[in-house]
Structure 1
Amino acid sequence: MARCLSLAVALVALVGYAAATGNIEDQQPTSYTQLAPVKGQWDITLKATKTADKAAFEPVDCAEPKISAACNKPLLTADAKDKLQVTAALKGKTLKTIDDLTPKRVVIKACYSKPSATDRPWRKSNDVIDKDKSCPFVIKSTELNVSSTSYSIDWPIPKNMTKAAWYATVLVLCENGTLNSYCQFDNTVNKTYFGTNIINSTPTSMIIATAVCASIGPLFLASYFIKDFMGRKKQ
């Protein structure tokens, strides 16, 4: 018992020391608040296929986070084979990171707007990046190229993307010892949002099969109880 108590005290002391040193490696995962001092270094632009021509991208210029906003129309869908084009361009020649860590990777994500996440705990935002549920889609993840100041991708809207308004977030990963920690970020909050919709593309045959199974199930259950009841009655 005494040995366990001593071990617990030692662990508490170690955690306290790590927190006091302010070492990012001991504070995994990183939070958005920690990265605030180095925010504002990316120009993030969005374009989308909003016409019948799915090879033509038009600028997305909507500062309204509500899905019902007129500037979000038309809504993008997987059924229409829509694509989102995201470009993240550095404003300067070099990227400044927290604690001057060396950037290794760029990750671009699609995140729910605040109205689209309200009253939905499974979409809840969190200041701790690795606990943030509001950014479920990784649009691009690539090694940072020191000779490049711009990253772009044409991203097909996935079939499991729900009806919502979204913004884009750019995260930078730095290697810190044996761990990778977030060391910089930017997003299009209050600047640019895009909207997506769900179109019911379930095959008719699947709908019929589901209806048949749903109707047969109760009949089997009822017959089982009748048979069981009659068997007990005969006993």
Structure 2
Amino acid sequence: MGSHFFIAPLFFLLLFFLGTAYGGVLLSSLPRTLVVGASPKQAEVLKAGEDTITVTWGINSTLASGTDNEYKTVKVKLCYAPISQKDRTWRKVVDDLAKDKTCQFEIVERAYSSNKNQREESFNWKIERDIPTAIYFIRAYAFDSEGTQLGFGQTTNSQKTSKLFEIQGITGRHLSLEIAACCFSVFSVGSLFGFFVLEKRKTKRAS
């Protein structure tokens, strides 16, 4: 009885440490080494499927030489601002990046450029049609050869209150969908009418 009393707490303690060991990188532990910019102005409203965003990124030139020696890949992502995460658990902020739901949309992934003569890279991203209506900012992560985040940068401040912009998602049905739905309805009604005519003829022949 006494042995079971001690085994249970040790078991749960072991699970806790295993969960910690196999967790992801914590955002709070990452240095902000990348400078990230984007073309949208504060509070600008963009349209999904129509507008284009130009994003730029590069190492902070004020950092010590060699800071980015292990950087191999950069991923730039579109991220929800806090106002669009409130009461939405599927967008919640988690410090563990393996569980975080803030940045769900990848804009671009590129090999990291260590060219000292080109301190900044850029990419023109046409907003995809499936991006939902929300307030956003942009964040970039630097990864090593093992796919582990080593640094990051973002267009907004640490409180995520500056340089936010809105994307209006596509709502309602498009003309092509309306036409397809209309054609399908006409076909369905025609098929049903033809079925009744054939059944009526069969009934008359049988009688």
TM-score under structure 2 normalisation? 0.68
Structure 2: 5+ residue stretches without partners: 1-9, 189-207
Identical-residue share of aligned pairs (%): 22
Alignment of 1:172-211 (within 5 A): 172-175=142-145, 179-187=146-154, 188=156, 189-200=160-171, 202-204=173-175, 206-207=177-178
The one-letter amino acid paired with 1:172 is A
The one-letter amino acid paired with 2:177 is M
The reply on whether 1:31 has 2:26 as its aligned counterpart is yes
Equivalent residue of 1:191, what SS? coil
The one-letter amino acid paired with 1:90 is I
Which residue of 2 is the match for residue 42 of structure 1? Answer: 34
Structure 1 residues 52-103: Cα deviation after superposition (integer angstroms, max 9, x where no partner): xxxxxxxx2x2xxxxxxxxx24x21134x20011111322274636xxx711
The one-letter amino acid paired with 2:107 is I
Structure 1: 5+ residue stretches without partners: 1-8, 20-25, 49-59, 63-71, 217-235
**Cα drift, residue 130 of structure 1:** 1.7
Change (3 A) 1:18 1:201: closer
Structure 1 residues 22-70: Cα deviation after superposition (integer angstroms, max 9, x where no partner): xxxx5542110221xx22x33222114xxxxxxxxxxx2x2xxxxxxxx
Matched residues in 1 for 2:22 and 2:120: separation? Answer: 30
Residue from 76, 80, 85 that aligns with 1:112: 80
User: Once superposed, what is the RMSD of the aligned Cα atoms?
Assistant: 3.5
The reply on whether 1:88 has 2:57 as its aligned counterpart is yes
Alignment of 1:123-202 (within 5 A): 123-147=91-115, 148-175=118-145, 179-187=146-154, 188=156, 189-200=160-171, 202=173
Change (3 A) 1:202 1:191: same
Are the counterparts in 2 of residues 166 and 193 from structure 1 also a CA contact under 8 Å? yes
User: Which is higher, the Rg of structure 1 or of structure 2?
Assistant: 2
Structure having greater relative contact order (Cα 8 Å, sep ≥ 6): 2
Equivalent residue of 2:57, what SS? strand
Are the counterparts in 1 of residues 132 and 170 from structure 2 also a CA contact under 8 Å? no
TM-score under structure 1 normalisation? 0.60
Are the counterparts in 2 of residues 110 and 166 from structure 1 also a CA contact under 8 Å? yes
Are the counterparts in 2 of residues 165 and 193 from structure 1 also a CA contact under 8 Å? yes
Which residue of 2 is the match for residue 222 of structure 1? Answer: none
Tell me which stretches of 4 or more aligned residues in structure 1 moved more than 4 Å. Answer: 12-19, 207-213
Equivalent residue of 2:72, what SS? strand
